[in-house]
Structure 1
Amino acid sequence: MTLSVRYLVAPLLGALLFASCSKSELTPEAPAAATVLQNVSAPGFPEGFETGTKTAYTTGSVTLGSGSWTLNDALIGNTTADAKTGTWSARVRNSGSLSMNFDLTGGAGVVTVAHALYGTDASGTWELWASANSGSSYAKVGSTITTSSTTLSTASFTVNIAGNVRLQVRKTDGSTNRLNFDNITVESYGTGGGGGGGTGGKKFLFDASHAELAGNADWALDVDGGVTPRYPTPAASGITASTSETYWTAALSSWGVALVKLGNSVENLPSGTAITYGNTSNPQDLANYNVFVVDEPNTLFSATEKTAIINFVKNGGGLFMISDHDVSDRNNDGYDSPAIWNDLMTNNSVQANPFGYSINLTNISETTSNVLASGTNTILNGSQGAVTQLKFSNGATMTKTSGSAATPLIWQSTASQGNTNIMCLSSTYGTGRVVCITDSSPADDGTGSPGNTVYPGWTEIASHAKLHMNASLWLAKQQ
């Protein structure tokens, strides 16, 4: 890609985003008097149906890891025909349901549900409902979901109810076909502080450990004297609604400042720091973060790092992958970012092609308006605005694996909206989420280390900031 120098980002209006919806929006809203922020996870969740036994469809209650649930015309199955992560998943037929018999006292923010067809059964529909009065009445959350694949995919709902709440999954087509449900996640919805990286926001980690500063690049939040500090300086606590992106100096500073303005916290992963997952001795272990952003890595991930990244996503994390064009090896080690990302996805010990796509060894430059027409997709139509264009200043393309969980979002201008010629897509794996953009120019804000030539990609096309911010919030399950 051509490196980008951006202009100042206009201050984002408003400090919160939680009134917006993801796939769906519930009619009841959280009290307006409180500044409402989501926490990481409700107690006992995610619910994977790995604890508790119910082998018959007859209505009955079962104690699961999260608490007691009533399964109506539903059971917990582990046959080869049951779509599942782990050993067990719920199986529902007819007009069956899965209902919590307990209240989540911390409320519910974003809820995700993995769903798939059982065996060779026909497609079916289902809905998420929520109760704020201990089950006396329920309100439907958003639109009806159609399940048509035998592979688990994840539906996301923004419930946004503070105080006591319980949830119910209802199969609505009434037919004898069976649906599997697994990996139900619930994020608490409490009250807390606002901007400057408030404790109720999500944690974003930006990688600077894989030569992201090589050559003429500064793919980090802040660079001080050629070094990327863990915490950008000055401190994020000084950021207000009117703070300029020049508060920090690096090509991704606009992105970081914008996230902090929404109550989130951001950090660099400095050079020489290991990428781990589940290592309690590492203070920057991925388990301590909600979203991992990697913009144009220039060295291969080690086998251990690949395992950490993929398991982080599998267990609910968000991964923002940014690539560049073919032959963009900035440190001359024989590997550029398309090859490095493809190596992660094809040469790991966890899952071959976990995200359902590959990056092509291509080099394109164009501005496209060939955007998926979907009013419900919150990456394209989220709280930060509608995405209508994307400009590549030397970038690659992607190909979706047929039948995978990947969702193409933006294509080359003359391409059909299919599985090839993709410039931006999202995907799910396990309970986590992935977004990939195959040019680093759109994220570049034009501020870099002295001597680096950069360009204003962040503000060059009005949709660029909206796309990256909507995608960030979707990855963090904030919309």
Structure 2
Amino acid sequence: MRTSFRWLAASLLSLSVLSCAKQEMVSPTPTAVSASADVSATGFPETFESGTKTAYTAGSVTLGSGSWTLDDALLGNTTADHKTGTQSARVRNLGTLTMNFNTTAGVGVVTVQHAVYGTDGSSQWELWASTNSGSSYAKVGSTITSSSTTLQTASFTVNLAGSVRLQIRKTSGGTNRINLDNITVEQYGGTTPPPTGTGKKFLFDATHAETAGNADWVLDVDNGVVPRYPTPAASGITSTTPETYWTGALSSWGVALVKQGHQVENLPVGTAITYGNTSNPQDLANYNVFVIDEPNTLFTSAEKTAILSFVRNGGGLFMISDHDVSDRNNDGYDSPAIWNDLMNSNSVQANPFGFSIDKNNIVETSSNVRTGTNAILNGSQGTVTQIKYSNGATITVNSTVATPLIWRSTSTQGNANVLCASSTFGTGRVVVVGDSSPADDGTGSPGNTVYPGWTEIASHAKLHMNASLWLAKLQ
């Protein structure tokens, strides 16, 4: 990606130190990938950014999703309130948050981000649902314990059709308070048709600081929150829908996939990267392709095992890096170091993909493309003839499992100075690009400076779309 001085100066102070952790290998049999019709309910996610309520006394407040009654709860905006954006709900004693309206297209999976207020002790809370406009409620799922000072994500499978309203109840009482934020609600039993035939499911990661600094490497951002389902709903996309339908630097990519009958989702902050965990609705086994564009925090040992097991058992992984010293959140790790750590320090297999990301910074347009038949370079989406690096890192291939696809303009077509490559691991597939600029569509959150790399060179869209379909085993 093009270098932004705003974060580069700070990034120069960062140190990239790789860590090594061991995790027992897990090899579950992947579940069948189904084509669901889930989209966000109208008005959600609820981010608590609108409305004002400064007292704990019971009262109604109009929020982005509609009117809610907050009892022994308020909208907090202090430094002790853990939140995304400027406000979150703060609940004390046996307080409740109750919708004063119904969602009319049913409720599928609900997620809620939660944390303790300030440095308070742990508290318990529950989600309840009503199908009779609030006359009675039934508990959904397990009781949740909030004990962290950073927002965590709790997920509930409601699966109620028709008119539904929700209530969150703090059940532990006492003086400890909790913060609640970013409530997502997916429809259930609605009229949105699922993809037919060869439709696949693509998951775009947002759990590793992909929106840090001047970046927006996600499908959609709503008021600073990355929702699971981009809004407006994907069901509204037609053949003429522009990429500005969603706000995110990867919206062009997502809209293009939806136009071809595929499903796309973000993996929101606080959601676990797992493989074979049936209690996680966004477990990797439920998807065909996992896209990770410029991660800015290290993967945990468990996440490494999940990602590598997903690929080894048939999944597709799209890896996008950026240049050396591109540490957007100043935690000491940039994307080349993070990707190399995944491949070199895991308990599944060392060097599983047969390449590494170089610690350099390249700016050039190259037409040094592999010749011959190749589905990524000459696929159904068109012929790839060049790529433009606007501050990216090269790739070094070190095993025959990897195939170099594009090289630097003056390089011989060998294993060094590679700009794009593909690989296989087990029954799965991998594609790597060393720069985030080609996928950047030039739209993002207000205040972020992004660039139209997706359309700057015609081959960029062709490369990413061909690679996506190849990873999904459609070509």
Other-structure match for 2:299 = 301
Select 1:433's aligned residue among 429, 432, 435: 429
AA at the equivalent of 1:412: R
Other-structure match for 1:413 = 409
Output the CA distance in 2 between the equivalents of 1:424 and 1:253.
21
Select 2:386's aligned residue among 379, 384, 389: 389
Alpha-carbon distance, 1:2 to partner = 1.0
Alpha-carbon distance, 1:305 to partner = 0.1
Alpha-carbon distance, 1:333 to partner = 0.2
Aligned-partner SS, 2:318: strand
Kindly provide the CA deviation profile for residues 327-361 of structure 1, in whole angstroms up to 9, marking residues without a partner as x: 00000000000000000000000000000000000
Decide whether the 8 Å contact of 1:194 with 1:263 is kept in 2.
no
Taking structure 2 as the reference length, the TM-score comes to: 0.60
Output the CA distance in 1 between the equivalents of 2:217 and 2:407.
24
Answering whether residue 447 of structure 2 is matched by residue 444 of structure 1, we say no
Other-structure match for 1:455 = 451
Answering whether residue 228 of structure 2 is matched by residue 233 of structure 1, we say no
Write the mapping of 1:35-434 to structure 2, written as runs, cut at 5 A. 197-198=195-196, 200-374=198-372, 376-402=373-399, 404-434=400-430
Output the CA distance in 2 between the equivalents of 1:469 and 1:421.
23
AA at the equivalent of 2:347: S
Other-structure match for 2:124 = none
Kindly provide the CA deviation profile for residues 413-462 of structure 1, in whole angstroms up to 9, marking residues without a partner as x: 00000000000000000000000000000000001000101111000011
Q: 1:220 to 1:197 in 2, by over 3 A?
A: farther
Output the CA distance in 2 between the equivalents of 1:386 and 1:251.
23
Decide whether the 8 Å contact of 1:3 with 1:454 is kept in 2.
no
Kindly provide the CA deviation profile for residues 62-114 of structure 1, in whole angstroms up to 9, marking residues without a partner as x: xxxxxxxxxxxxxxxxxxxxxxxxxxxxxxxxxxxxxxxxxxxxxxxxxxxxx
Count of residues in Structure 1 that have an aligned counterpart in Structure 2: 292
Q: 1:452 to 1:421 in 2, by over 3 A?
A: same
Decide whether the 8 Å contact of 2:292 with 2:320 is kept in 1.
yes
Output the CA distance in 2 between the equivalents of 1:282 and 1:367.
42
Aligned-partner SS, 1:201: coil
Q: 1:3 to 1:265 in 2, by over 3 A?
A: farther
Alpha-carbon distance, 1:3 to partner = 6.8
Aligned-partner SS, 2:368: coil
Decide whether the 8 Å contact of 2:405 with 2:418 is kept in 1.
yes
Other-structure match for 2:2 = 2
Q: 1:262 to 1:196 in 2, by over 3 A?
A: farther
Kindly provide the CA deviation profile for residues 229-263 of structure 1, in whole angstroms up to 9, marking residues without a partner as x: 00000000111111111110100000000000010
Aligned-partner SS, 1:471: helix
Answering whether residue 432 of structure 2 is matched by residue 468 of structure 1, we say no
AA at the equivalent of 2:229: Y
Gap regions ≥5 residues in structure 1:
5-38, 42-192
Decide whether the 8 Å contact of 1:206 with 1:221 is kept in 2.
yes
Decide whether the 8 Å contact of 1:196 with 1:260 is kept in 2.
no
Alpha-carbon distance, 1:195 to partner = 9.0
Output the CA distance in 2 between the equivalents of 1:363 and 1:292.
26
Kindly provide the CA deviation profile for residues 34-56 of structure 1, in whole angstroms up to 9, marking residues without a partner as x: xxxxx969xxxxxxxxxxxxxxx
Decide whether the 8 Å contact of 2:33 with 2:286 is kept in 1.
no
Output the CA distance in 2 between the equivalents of 1:196 and 1:287.
18
Q: 1:306 to 1:241 in 2, by over 3 A?
A: same
Aligned-partner SS, 2:279: coil
Kindly provide the CA deviation profile for residues 130-150 of structure 1, in whole angstroms up to 9, marking residues without a partner as x: xxxxxxxxxxxxxxxxxxxxx
Alpha-carbon distance, 1:198 to partner = 4.2
- Asked which structure has the greater RCO (Cα within 8 Å, sep 6+), the reply is 1
Gap regions ≥5 residues in structure 2:
5-31, 35-190
Other-structure match for 1:478 = 474
Decide whether the 8 Å contact of 2:366 with 2:408 is kept in 1.
yes
Output the CA distance in 1 between the equivalents of 2:358 and 2:352.
17
Alpha-carbon distance, 1:200 to partner = 4.4
Decide whether the 8 Å contact of 2:33 with 2:285 is kept in 1.
no
Decide whether the 8 Å contact of 1:201 with 1:265 is kept in 2.
yes
Q: 1:317 to 1:460 in 2, by over 3 A?
A: same
AA at the equivalent of 2:208: H
Decide whether the 8 Å contact of 1:391 with 1:461 is kept in 2.
yes
Q: 1:471 to 1:255 in 2, by over 3 A?
A: same
Alpha-carbon distance, 1:320 to partner = 0.1
Decide whether the 8 Å contact of 1:195 with 1:240 is kept in 2.
no
Decide whether the 8 Å contact of 2:192 with 2:235 is kept in 1.
no
Kindly provide the CA deviation profile for residues 194-244 of structure 1, in whole angstroms up to 9, marking residues without a partner as x: 997447400000000000000000000000011100000000011111111
